[in-house]
Structure formats: C-alpha cells, structure tokens
Structure 1
Amino acid sequence: MSYSSLQTAFIDKVTANKVIFIVSSYFVLVFNLSFLYKTYHAVLLLDDYNLFFLLSVPVLLLNVLMIFFSFFSVKYLLKPALIFFTMMSALMTYATLSYGIVFDYGMIENTIETSSSEAFSYLNSNAFFIVIALSVIPLMYLYKVNIVYNTCKAESWQRVKLLSVSTLSLVGIAFFFYGDYASVGRNNRELSAYITPLKSVVSSYKFIRNNYFTASVKFTVLDNAPSLLTQDDEGKRVILMVVGETARAESFSLNGYDKATNQFTRAYNPISFKNMSSCGTATAVSVPCMFSALGRHDYDKQLASNQQNLLDIVKLANVDVLWLDNNEGCKGACKRVTTINMDKSKTHELCDGDYCFDEVLLSPLTEKLNHLTHQTTLIVLHLIGSHGPTYYRRYPEKFAKFLPDCQRSDIQNCTQEQVINTYDNTIAYSDYVLAKMINRLSSLEAVETSMLYVSDHGESLGENGLYLHGFPYALAPSQQTHIPMLYWSSNEDKANRQCLHDLANQNFSHDNVFHSILGLTEVQSTAYNPNLDIFQQCNSEHLLVNNTN
C-alpha cells in the first residue's frame, strides 16, 4: 500500500470510530504492557490454560477501551479527550514501569493531596524523555488526523454501531471464557489496578464523589469530658510523639539490620518494638488513621475527619498540645490544635526553599520545652524523614555515611546498592535527630519525659521491582507495612523496662497508638481501651498488682 493510500485511509477524512479504534489499539499495546505481562504471567503459571483465552485478553481490553472512549466522541471534544488520556496514561505507564506504582483509590488520594514541591521531586530528564517517547506517536497522529463528522443523526448511528460491535465482542468473549476470567480475576485481584487509564478514572471518580458530592457527616464526639488522672502535686510531664516518614523496620540496626543506622539513639537504650505494622501504605491514610480511634479495618477518611481524634481528646482534658510539622501537613489530624509548619525559606541554613532537614524542628521544640505552661504537654513532631524519591535531599552532606549513594530522583536508574545506601543515610540522620530530641528531654529538671517514635509507612527499595510506597495494602510487600517504633522514658524502673522488653517482640500496629498515647498522657476517657494500650500492662501499678497476686 502506497503512502498516499495510507494517508487517505488513516489521516484524511477519517471517521471518529476509526480514530477511536486506532488510539485504543495503541493503548492496549503500549500503555497496558504491564497489565498484559502480569496477566499472562499469572495464567502461564497454571498447570493448564487455554491459549485462545490468552489471545482474547487484548481483544477484550481493546473493546472495553473503545466503549470508554466512545463517550467522548463529540465534535471538538474527542481530540482533546484523547490527548488528555494519552498524556495521563504516559505518565502513569512511566510510574508503573519505573517504580511499580499502581493508580488505585489510595494512590489517587495520595496524588491529589501531594504538594507541588513533592510532586516536582518525581520529575527529571529521564521521566520527561520516557513520557514523550511513550506519547509522541498517538499525539502526532491526533495532531494530523482529520476527523470527519456527519449529521447528528449519522453520528449517533456511528456510535450505536461501535457500541454494538464492541458489546457483542465482549459478550462472545464472556460466553467462551467466562470461567477463565473469573478464576484468574478472583486469584489475582491486583491485575485490574494495572488497566490504564480505566482504573485511575474509576478511582478518581470515587475520590471526587466521596470528598465533594456526598452528604456531610455530623461531627461525632467520642468523649465530652475526658480528664487527667494526675494530681496537681505530681509535677510536670512531657510526651513527645514523633511521626516518622517512610521509615521501614528492617532498615533499623536496633531491629537487627547489619548497618549502623541507629548509632545515636542506641546510647539512650530505647525500646524497639520489632513487629509494628502501619494502617496504610501512604501518608494520606496512615497519619489520620493512627490518630483515629477507628483502627485500620474500620478506618474511613470521611468518618475519621468528622469525629474526635486523639489530639482533640487530650486537649479537652487540659493537656497542652502542639504539632510541629516539617513534612507536607498533618492530613487533617492537627486541624483543631496549635500547629507550627516549618518555614522552608532558603534564608534558613537548614532549608533549600523546598525542604528542610529535620534538625529544623529542634529549635521550636527547645523553645516549647523551655516554656511549659501546663502540667502535661504533648508535642507531636512530623518528620520528613526518608521521603523519596529524592532521598539524598533528606540529610546534610556530612551525614552521607553509606556510599556510594544515589544523587538523583529517578532512583530506578541507580544501582540497588546506591539506592539502599542513600535510604540508609536518611535513617541514620533521622536517628541523629531523635537522639537530639531525647537529649533535650533528658536535660529538663523535675519533669517526667518520654518519647514515642513511629513511622507512618515503609518503603520499597527495588525489591521485586517495586520502589517507593502506596501499593494496595492487601498486596503490599512487608517493606511498605512493617514499620519501626521506638520508646524512651526518663522514668523507668527495672521491672517496667524488663516488661517492655518482653513485649517488644509482640505484634502491634497503628491501632495501638491512639490508646497508648492516652495512657502515656494519663488521660481518662471513655474512648480509651486498655487492651490496646501497649504500656498498660507494664506500668508500675499493674506490675505491683500482678506481683502481689
């Protein structure tokens, strides 16, 4: 076929249906490579499979995409819609191929709530060239093609034909291979998350519906009269709750890691809880969840944001509550308490205009500790910790202990050794900051102090081809859900410390944080569940009763 014939067939005066077919075919073969690969991999592992079933998968996907794109087949809308979905799909394909990211509801939520500085950290020359390479063919085609539109009646008939043919094709596939699809889908539920761009469109719709078009939920008061159990003559108490960012338990030398990532806190002999799990795999879920009384299995963002959380209850009990943030906000957890967000201006020696090193938190912390106004004070410090992919921007140059490191954001193009070294440097630097915080607490006279550090979620560093975090929880690797938790106190007797050491190997989760902080602050509340308070069975009164019995 000559060039002029090809141009006539595919460029000059082409029907909208043909354009939809051509673009959908490209989406199947390029943007859905991960879906096809993982589907075929799952099927080929079976002892017995139908070859014709395998051949039907791209055909089914093609028809589904054509039906989807047909809803945009309106004059002056089709081209912009296809251009938009092409660019969006190219970005998602890059993220999936490079980092293993899937765009389910949780990832859409995390993406929408991401700040501009965080979003730009993912952009680099490698990402730019790959996205352009993935999208240039359909974009050039859409630029050149001349779509012919007929009368409204004729166009409607064209859509009916397209929908009819696609629907009949789907019915035929279902008739012959329904059992195969049901079996593979039931045993590999994660596969649907890789369908581009349909999964992200459905997830975006659900996010918008849930956040902007659902009836408002009445605010629920869990306890309208919490109170402090401490007496006025017992002296002051300070509890630091440090919320880590993207720290994973297996990278802590206190948990047996073979690299010295906890050399600074080790001097203070903290208790490391080695089997701690997160509520989610992304900050947008984990942070509000750990401050909620709902727990992971019952957590719902809208419900949690419309009821009292941990900070509300302790504040109502006359505890002085302060949130110090060096991350991208508290995701709603601190909206009713005093909050100080670190100024990321370049004028500060610890900041570069986009981020600050976590040492920046030490100054306002010291200021607060020097001016305690209440009997009990709870200070929450939100670290930027090990936030990726720009791990190298999370620690000063002098803390680049593990080398060679990865001084770039497209971490998949570094060796795994470099990625892990860079990440380990962030853990070691966070450990240094934690040690400084403990030192500040230790210097307070006649004040009972304690610190609880817990990360929001973990991180994948190339294991099984996955990077970063945010994978669907049910399918997430342990690196994204197994998190560190450290506890230090200035007022521990030998029996209490031994009891905590015995507990340190038991399984705990973010579900325990709400009740454990209520216990540490000694706030009496109807929302408190002693069975979920990690420290309850190790307090002096409880141990005394048990020893007496």
Structure 2
Amino acid sequence: MTLNTAPRIHASLLILGASVFLLTACNATFWRTFFSATGGLGLSHLPLHLGSFALLVLLFNACLNLINFRFIVKPVLVVLFMATSATYYFMNEYGTAIDKSMIQNLLETDVHEALELLNWKLLLTITLLGILPSLLVWRTQIVFCAGKRGLVLQAANIGGSLLVAAILLFLFFKSLAPALREHRELRYLLAPTNYIQAINGYVKQRRAQALVVAPLGMDATRRASAGGNSARSVTLIVLGETARAANFSLNGYARLTNPELSKQADLLNFTNVQSCGTATAVSVPCVFSALGRENYSDDKAHAQQGLLDVLSHAGFGVLWRDNNSGCKGTCDRVDVEDLSKADPGNKWCVDDECYDERLLDGLPELIRKARKDLVIVLHQKGSHGPAYWKRAPAAFQRFGPVCRTNQLESCSRESIVAAYDNSILYTDHFLNQAIELLKASGEKEQLNTAMLYFSDHGESLGEHNMYLHGAPYVISPAEQREVPFMLWLSEGFRSRFHIDQRCLAARTGQSFSHDNVFHSVLGMHRISTAVYNPGLDIFGPCTHES
C-alpha cells in the first residue's frame, strides 16, 4: 500500500496563509512607504501598523476566497505568486510603481530591451517568492468542505473578513485617511492589487481603441513665402530616449556633458520643458498627437492621425528612422526605416545593437535625391537603461568608474551616474554630427535646414531611492519629467520661414512642454490648418510676414 505523503491543509487556511505571505514577503516597498507616511516605526504607531496589516490581510482573504474552489484555486495562486514575485523585484530594486502606463510600456517593449533587465537576482527572487511557494501549493492536498456546508463556510469567511475589516477601517480611519490622501503612490505599490488594476485598465483601454483612424489636418496647406528664398527645406526631428535635462551641462550640470553642442553658435537650448509622460509608450504617441497631456489617452491617440500625417497632408516628405523599439503607432502611415537590428557589417553595430550614429548613415544621399521638403524623425536609443554603459562607444566612456551591470543595486550611485553621463556625452556628439550633416547638405544642395531635439522622458538615477522611469505621472519625480529641448536653424531656414532668432533666444527660459511640439512644428514650417493652435506655437511670437 502506497502512503500519500503530500501535506494537507484546509482550503480556508490555505487562502489565509497565501494572504499573509503576499503581504509580508512581497510588499517590502509598500510597507516602507506606508510606515514613512504614517510617522515611521515606533511603539506609538504600532497599533495603527498592526491594525492596517490585519485590515489588508482580511481584504486579501475575502478576495481570494472568491476563487477558493477545487481545480481553480491552485492555478490562480501559482499565477499570483509568479507575477507578484517579479513585481516585487522591480518595485524593490528600482523603486518602480505599477500603473496602467507601466503595463503598456512593459507589453510594448522589444525583446532586446526586456533581456537587459534579466539578471541572477531577478531569477533568484522569482525562485524564492514565486516558484518555491507555487510548488508547495501544487503538491499540497487541499481539503474542501463538501456541498452546502462548504459554500456556507466560504460565504462566512468572506462576510466575516469584510465585517472585521470594516471595523478596523472605522477605528483607524482618522489616522489612515491623511496618509492615503497625501501619498497616492501607495495604491501603485500594493501587490498584487496594483498590477491587477493596471492590467484591467490596459485591457479596457485597448478594447476601447477605434478600429478606424480619424483623419486630422486634411486642410493643411503651406502659407506662401513673402521672400525670394524658396529652396527646399530639410528638418530633422531627433526624438531622444531617457535623456533628462538635469544632466546636460547646457542646463548647468557640473560635468561637461555637452562639449560639442556648447560650441554651436546658433543652437538654442530651452531649459524648462516638461514631458507628456514618464515612459516611451505614453510620451511618444502623446508628443506627436494634437491632444496635449491633459486630454491624452492611448485610445484617443490611436483613434486619430497625428503630426506626421498633417505634415504629409501639407505636401512634405516624411520619414521615420528608428534605433529604438518603434514609434508606438505614430509612424504607421509614413515611410519607416528600422535600423535597430544589428548588422555585423555596419561600423556602428556591436554585438546585438547599434549606436545612434547609424541613424545618420545614408542621410546625405537620401536628402539629395528628395524632390520635396522633408521632415525626418530620428528615434534614438539614447540613454535607455539600466545598461547605460552600452549606449556609448569606447571613445565616449570618459566619466568613471562606470557601472557595467544591469543589477544597479550592486553599483554605487556615482558609477551609475557616470555610465549615464557617458550616454549623454555621446548624445551630444550625435546631435552635433546631425547639425554638421545638415550644414554640409544645406551648402552642397542649396537647402534650408533645421534640427529639433527633445527627449521622450527623463530618468531617475537614485534620487528618492528611485531608478529608471515609468512612475505614474501624478507622483513622478522631476527627474523623470524634465527633458532637454534644443533647436538649430540654418540662416536660410530662418529666412525662408521668417523666424526671428533673437526673439526665440529670449524665450529659451520660459516654461514649455511636449504639448508645444505639434503646433511648433507646424508653425516653424508655416503650415495652416484648423488643428493648429498658435497659443502653443513656440515660434508664433517670433515669426513675421516679410
């Protein structure tokens, strides 16, 4: 006779134990923030902290009892343990909060970027907090009460848990309410409710997206030039990645991260610019839409055309060149060149990725062959982390010591910042090369040229114990929202489109945001359309008719 040695546990105790495990083992970031929000650790706050813990255990217990049925409870708990263990790692190591935009950013990132986040500590965390508890649950024999008795017991568990939770909430409401109101980030830190709510929001958002894209700016026309300069124009829009304004020496940063751009006499550097989002999946479609941050949503942006479409309607040739993870829908109706895939024969490619200078390959010939005005978007790899050291060639590894691992917790903050600064130094070189290319092409082909540069979002490098980006905008730190914004216009471009350089220079310290990009690109090219808002055009006050 074979003995069954599998451990046995009653279904109600399993659910209670799972609730305690999730709250204790997988929510260190939440509890650190909660303790800080409620006055810190101490005997005087112990009743509040114990009561809050009991309150959350009871709420988890009530929710999990809804799936406490034979053949259902085990798979659900395994999924929860695995997903929560991974969530715990990213929240604990990088200070990441989980909301709908973070889920969108995760699902829309490419495989290469995702692989950069993998390391032994992540695998160890998932093993200890995900795989081992899952194996234990899977091999445990769960005892269920049969028939009506089981349903009554389950209903009693849910009702009793909710009743006691309500009593605890009433007792501690006066202390909890201010903390929850002033620290809204707490709801983004409590796992697994944070990612369950985020996934639900993302799914609803995707379902609500229109299948037909509404036209925008079909009436776009170019105002006739009052002067004699009618030479073709070429504008480069350089979309940066993860570059924060604070680490540009042009903005006062102590390290000389902009040695080349600082020598460009006609370069205009805007010092107070806010991003639309804190992650690529939000900022890129937002900045190229006419919606603005306050009105932006993913479904709205995908339901109507954007800036590149309006430029096409106005008769411009439009090209998107990508060295990143795609355009997030903004370039769906224009020409696209994906240069992000490594080419062993290309001098800018090393191992499995390419440096941003690959975006400049073949541009002079492309510009020469064009027969109409061009707008070309160059989407950088930029300073995408956590593998900052990979973003710059050896010649630009000037600051050190450098963190050379994606396990940022094993590096000093100084080495992380040094690696990041080297990526900014390389962006400085890349932008300078782009300007020099425009100068050379403009002189050779008799063109009017311009470059507009801005980053999609910033980056946290350890401030407030936060790393990377993607924090919910409402609680995001300035480092993730304040982005560089630069403009270079050739003399011919300024002449053709009647732009006053001195007037623009006087505006570089004013407050702007991604909301200005759509209307400013139209304004700098003198494009008339009903969707153009002159109040958001940076060039508006600085243009004249003759």
TM (norm. structure 1) is 0.92
Candidates 36, 39, 59, aligned match of 2:34: 39
Candidates 402, 407, 432, aligned match of 2:404: 407
Report what 2:313 is aligned to: 316
Provide, for residues 392-441 of structure 1, a one-character-per-residue CA deviation record: whole Å limited to 9, x for no partner.
11111222111111111112211111101100111111111111111110
Contact 1:384 1:394 in 2 (8 A): yes
Alignment partner of 1:385 is 2:382: yes
Match of 1:262, SS state, is: coil
Candidates 338, 342, 362, aligned match of 2:360: 362
Write the letter of the residue equivalent to 2:258: N
Report what 1:3 is aligned to: none
Report what 1:547 is aligned to: none
Alignment partner of 1:179 is 2:174: yes
Structure 1 pair 226–66 and aligned structure 2 pair: CA distance change class (3 A): same
Alignment partner of 1:139 is 2:137: no
Report what 1:163 is aligned to: 158
Kindly report the root-mean-square deviation, in angstroms, between the aligned alpha carbons of the 2 structures. 2.3
Q: Single out whichever of 288-297 and 73-82 deviates more from structure 2.
A: 73-82
Provide, for residues 123-157 of structure 1, a one-character-per-residue CA deviation record: whole Å limited to 9, x for no partner.
01222223323346523531442112343434323
Mapped to 2, the partners of 1:517 and 1:495 lie a distance apart of: 13
Contact 2:324 2:340 in 1 (8 A): no
Mapped to 2, the partners of 1:353 and 1:208 lie a distance apart of: 36
Mapped to 1, the partners of 2:100 and 2:456 lie a distance apart of: 18
Match of 1:333, SS state, is: coil
Write the letter of the residue equivalent to 2:217: D
Candidates 221, 224, 229, aligned match of 2:215: 221
User: Which runs of structure 2 are paired with 1:469-480 in the superposition (5 Å)?
Assistant: 469-480=469-480
Mapped to 2, the partners of 1:343 and 1:171 lie a distance apart of: 54
Alignment partner of 1:257 is 2:253: yes
Report what 1:83 is aligned to: 78
Contact 1:344 1:353 in 2 (8 A): no
Mapped to 2, the partners of 1:21 and 1:250 lie a distance apart of: 47
User: Which runs of structure 2 are paired with 1:182-201 in the superposition (5 Å)?
Assistant: 182-201=177-196
Write the letter of the residue equivalent to 2:233: R
Structure 1 pair 218–91 and aligned structure 2 pair: CA distance change class (3 A): same
Report what 2:269 is aligned to: 272
Match of 1:486, SS state, is: strand
Candidates 54, 59, 62, aligned match of 1:67: 62
Contact 1:247 1:385 in 2 (8 A): yes
Report what 2:457 is aligned to: 457
Write the letter of the residue equivalent to 1:228: R
Write the letter of the residue equivalent to 1:411: L
Report what 2:125 is aligned to: 130
Mapped to 2, the partners of 1:532 and 1:344 lie a distance apart of: 37
Write the letter of the residue equivalent to 2:318: V
TM-superposed deviation, 1:467: 0.2
Alignment partner of 1:534 is 2:538: yes
TM-superposed deviation, 1:373: 1.5
Report what 1:488 is aligned to: 488
Structure 1 pair 67–367 and aligned structure 2 pair: CA distance change class (3 A): farther
Report what 1:297 is aligned to: 294
Structure 2 unaligned runs (5+)?
none
Provide, for residues 94-147 of structure 1, a one-character-per-residue CA deviation record: whole Å limited to 9, x for no partner.
111110001111111111111111111100122222332334652353144211
Mapped to 2, the partners of 1:315 and 1:164 lie a distance apart of: 60
Contact 1:239 1:520 in 2 (8 A): no
TM-superposed deviation, 1:160: 1.1
Provide, for residues 440-499 of structure 1, a one-character-per-residue CA deviation record: whole Å limited to 9, x for no partner.
100123211110000000000011110000111111111100000011111158993322
Contact 1:271 1:486 in 2 (8 A): yes
Mapped to 1, the partners of 2:18 and 2:144 lie a distance apart of: 18
Mapped to 1, the partners of 2:203 and 2:46 lie a distance apart of: 40
Alignment partner of 1:498 is 2:502: yes
Provide, for residues 181-227 of structure 1, a one-character-per-residue CA deviation record: whole Å limited to 9, x for no partner.
32221121111111101111011011112203x37376433332211
Mapped to 2, the partners of 1:346 and 1:377 lie a distance apart of: 27
Report what 1:509 is aligned to: 513
Mapped to 2, the partners of 1:283 and 1:119 lie a distance apart of: 14
Report what 1:283 is aligned to: 280
Percent sequence identity over aligned pairs: 35
Mapped to 2, the partners of 1:91 and 1:48 lie a distance apart of: 33
TM (norm. structure 2) is 0.92
Report what 2:20 is aligned to: 25
Mapped to 2, the partners of 1:233 and 1:459 lie a distance apart of: 42
Q: Single out whichever of 450-459 and 304-313 deviates more from structure 2.
A: 304-313
Contact 1:36 1:58 in 2 (8 A): no
Structure 1 pair 68–252 and aligned structure 2 pair: CA distance change class (3 A): same
Structure 1 pair 183–313 and aligned structure 2 pair: CA distance change class (3 A): same
Report what 1:349 is aligned to: 347
Mapped to 2, the partners of 1:490 and 1:503 lie a distance apart of: 18
Contact 2:403 2:415 in 1 (8 A): yes
Contact 2:29 2:95 in 1 (8 A): no
Mapped to 2, the partners of 1:479 and 1:103 lie a distance apart of: 18
